[in-house]
Amino acid sequence: MNILVIGSGGREYMLAWKIHQSLHCERLFIAPGNAGTDLFGENIEIDVNDFGAIGQFVIENKVELVVVGPEDPLVNGIRDYFKNDQLKDIAIVGPGKDGARLEGSKDFSKRFMQKNKIPTAKAQTFAIESIDEALSYLRQCKMPIVLKADGLAAGKGVVIANDLKEAQDTLKSMLLDKQFGEASNKVLIEEFLNGIELSVFVLTDGKHYVTLPEAKDYKRIGEEDTGPNTGGMGAVSPVRFADADFMKKVTERIIEPTVHGLQNEGIDYRGFIFIGLMNVKGDPYVIEYNVRMGDPEAQVVIPRIKNDLVELLVKVADGKLGNYQLEVSEDYASTVVMVSDGYPGSYKKGKSIQGLADVTNALVVHAGTKQQDYEVLTNGGRVLAVTGMGSSLTDALKMSYHGVDSIHWEGAYFRKDIGKDILRLHLD
């Protein structure tokens, strides 16, 4: 069948990499893709939110399966657009607008968790009309405290304030100065959870689900988790503290009530659910839902899946996931993200990348790259990631860092401590 992947980052590179290996894949298109995705298919220059152009392309090119990578088109209703007459038989992976609110509105997702008794941090939502109430509520809160813009804010809408003044200033700039535009019309004031984060991924057809391998992501720009948050600087899978006991708690307390809760709301959710959770002394609490795969988590989760991804995704889209057996490699995977100097602040694009062909024992995952004549140029903040695999986390990391050492451009930066916390946790 012909397949279209929507998006242009490392996550979409991984989807294309795996879909391309399927016997069911005839022609693969990536919209818009990057300098690496054209190894697996044809990049097409269509914006991820231009549903009219996407729909027309799908019809003209006899696409039968559409896999939506990023959250934006999902929150904007791409699945709902595909309900129109000419497109209604196309299989599409990703929830409709109703389900995408799990990511698109933190207030909705908090209420969803409360209603379904899913463990999560305590929180209250405030709008501009109740700013005085919010400021006085803050005075009773224990510090640090977490402030979250309700809507999508490109990963920047969460601030952890260490003292009351910082919390009040942040609240004012979100609600009064509209720091994140419409996204901060409402703000959640949320209890700070102290623990270790874990990303859990579920694919559901609305009734059944499979749990994909878990991963740990490294969000801060600096080593030892310092500095501002980024989209993610690296990831590892599996995560050893997520043992059978812990995952049983995650399944019973979080995954099952989430899938059933969606059903009870009448939401026919077909796609990925990414559960960001905190392990607080052995108990899992949800920090956030995303309605897509993680990036860079996809770079370590997808290579560990042995099944044919197209078969799996078609079952998700068709509502036929019952009795599906996922096969997962026992190998460890790690990925190290290389970014442009200045990221997550401002950075330059267009730097020439050298050494890509020298990486032979690891997978170079393109994210923000662009092909120009015979050169590959940087074209974003997170430029690429290098995924290594091995029978131990140490071996996987060796492969990743060996690959990273071969790649150069002016101003390239990466974290040297990916996975180290986990190794410490288990070796000390």
The residues of the shown chain that bind ligand GLY, judged by CB under 6 A, are 217, 231-232, 290, 294-295, 297
Alpha-carbon distance of 281 to 284, in angstroms, equals: 8
Strand partners, 228: none
**Least distance between ligand GLY and beta carbon 75 (Å):** 14
Of positions 81, 192, 324, 413, contacts ligand AMP by CB under 6 A: 192
| Minimum distance from residue 231 beta carbon to ligand GLY (Å) | 6
Please state whether beta strands 382-390 and 363-366 pair in parallel, antiparallel, or not at all (unpaired): antiparallel
Structure tokens at 362: 């690891």
| Nearest-approach distance from CB 370 to ligand GLY, in angstroms | 22
How many residues at the interface with ligand AMP, by CB under 6 A?
A: 14
Our finding on whether 146 is near ligand AMP (CB under 6 A) is yes
Instruction: Give dist(CA 399, CA 303) in Å, integer.
Output: 14
**Residue 287 interacts with, from ligand GLY, ligand AMP, none (CB under 5-8 Å by kind):** ligand AMP
CB atoms within 10 A of CB 62: 11
Sign of CA dihedral 264, 270, 274, 280: positive
Pairing of strands 28-32, 42-43: parallel
Q: Which has the closest alpha carbon to 14: 24, 33, 2?
A: 33
The item of ligand AMP, ligand GLY, none sharing an interface with residue 246, based on CB under 5 to 8 Å by kind, is none
- At closest approach, how far in Å is the CB of 108 from ligand AMP? 13
Q: Which of the ranges 2-10, 192-200, 254-262, 371-379 carries the binding residues for ligand AMP, by CB under 6 A?
A: 192-200
Phi-psi region of 53 (alpha: psi -120 to 50; beta: other; left: phi over 0): alpha
Contact (Cβ atoms closer than 8 angstroms) between residue 337 and residue 296 = yes
Contact with ligand AMP (CB under 6 A): which of 24, 97, 111, 219?
219
**Closest alpha carbon to 121 in 145, 138, 139, 89:** 145
- Which range of residues in 6-14, 189-197, 241-249, 320-328 is near ligand AMP by CB under 6 A? 189-197
Tell whether residue 287 is a contact of ligand AMP (CB under 6 A): yes
Nearer to ligand GLY, 233 or 353 (CB): 233
Count of helices and strands (H, E) across the chain: 14, 23
Task: Write down the H helix ranges in 141-213.
Answer: 164-175
Q: Judged by CB under 6 A, does residue 77 bind ligand AMP?
A: no
Site for ligand AMP in 288-347 (CB under 6 A): 288
Residues sharing a CB contact under 8 Å with residue 72, sequence separation 6 or more, in sequence order: 48, 49, 152
Smallest gap from residue 192 Cβ to ligand AMP (A):
4
CA quadruple 226, 227, 232, 233: dihedral, nearest 10: -70
193 makes contact with ligand AMP (CB under 6 A) = yes
Contact range with ligand AMP by CB under 6 A, out of 35-43, 75-83, 187-195, 253-261: 187-195
The answer to whether residue 121 forms part of the interface with ligand AMP (CB under 6 A) is: yes
The entry of ligand AMP, ligand GLY, none near residue 192 (CB within 5 to 8 angstroms by kind) is ligand AMP
Please report which residue ranges of 61-130 form alpha helices under DSSP H.
71-75, 78-81, 97-104, 106-115
Task: Name which of ligand GLY, ligand AMP, none residue 127 binds, using a CB cut-off of 5 to 8 Å depending on partner kind.
Answer: none
Indicate whether 187 belongs to the interface with ligand AMP (CB under 6 A). Answer: no
CA gap 238, 47 in Å, rounded: 34
Q: Enter the DSSP assignment of 142.
A: P
Q: Residues 276, 319, 390, 411: which binds ligand AMP (CB under 6 A)? A: 276
Whole-angstrom distance, CA of residue 119 vs CA of residue 249: 11
Q: Which does 234 bind (CB under 5 to 8 A by kind): ligand AMP, ligand GLY, none?
A: none
Nearer to ligand GLY, 18 or 216 (CB): 216
- 197's contact among ligand GLY, ligand AMP, none, with CB below 5 to 8 A by partner kind, is ligand AMP
Query: 3-state class of 413 per DSSP?
Result: strand
Binding-site ranges for ligand AMP (CB under 6 A): 121, 146, 158, 160, 190-193, 197, 219, 229, 276, 287-288
